[in-house]
Amino acid sequence: MRFRTASILAPHQNDHSIGLGPELPPVINRKEPAMTIRALVFDAYGTLYDVQSVRGLATELCGEKGELITQLWRLKQLEYTWLRGLMQAYEDFSVVTHASLEFALESVGVTPAPALCEKLMAKYLDLDLYPEARQALNALAGYKLAILSNGSPKMLDALVRASGIAPLLTDVISVDRAKSFKPDPRCYELVSPTLGIARHEVLFVSSNGFDVAGARRFGFTVAWIERGGGHAAPENSNVGPAEFYKLLRGRSERLGYQPDFRINALTDLTSVVSGLAK
């Protein structure tokens, strides 16, 4: 049975309550048992690392089209993971990322020359770590800390080494082991045998709505960090690429599985885990 907390971190009501799956027991006026969280498992892209940090290089190399390329690249990258999953035609994330970059460049009329693609792809090996990420990981050092990511092993190895957080992590888990992409349940199944814990001992953390839904459906306790949410609705259709991206990818998905917790920064996780232990 899940613990719920009422505070600034209070989770949304799970959409199971509106008939989108088996009903959960009511939680109002009920004190539920404490949970033992032994590991925190983080998504990488968009959660620990800022995928928008490619914008500066894209603008430097492609001028005024850099912003649009940044957003198209990420959107198509995600779409290709889902399409390859549905087609059962797995290729690792470096292949997906390169193909989606070529699509984005061609879409805006920029020739995907090998030298240009190589420079932009290199940024994915050295994305900016979110400012509070290192502080949060240090504060959670008493737990097993891991990454579960769509990234290929080589991409993730380069990323955690470049950012200097490798010593803080128990493991870095690539979905390449499952030959699929999140939110395929086989990806989340990698966590327990790798870390030697049960799924109910995991707090999964992601900024991506599809990942939150997939992890929640799988049975993890989930914290959603709202990297792109909380913004006012646009007044009209005159929105730029970045705002369009936030409207599409920065909101909670309507898939019937809501996060257990909503947080604004990774440093909020210390409050979450301490509350779960009470």
Catalytic positions: 43
| Pairwise CA distance, residues 250 & 220, whole Å | 21
CA dihedral (116, 117, 119, 124) positive or negative:
positive
Tokens of 38: 């032994």
Question: CA angle at residue 246 from 243 to 250, to 5 degrees?
Answer: 165
173 forms bridges with which residues in the sheet?
Answer: 148
CA 106 from chain centre, in angstroms, equals 27
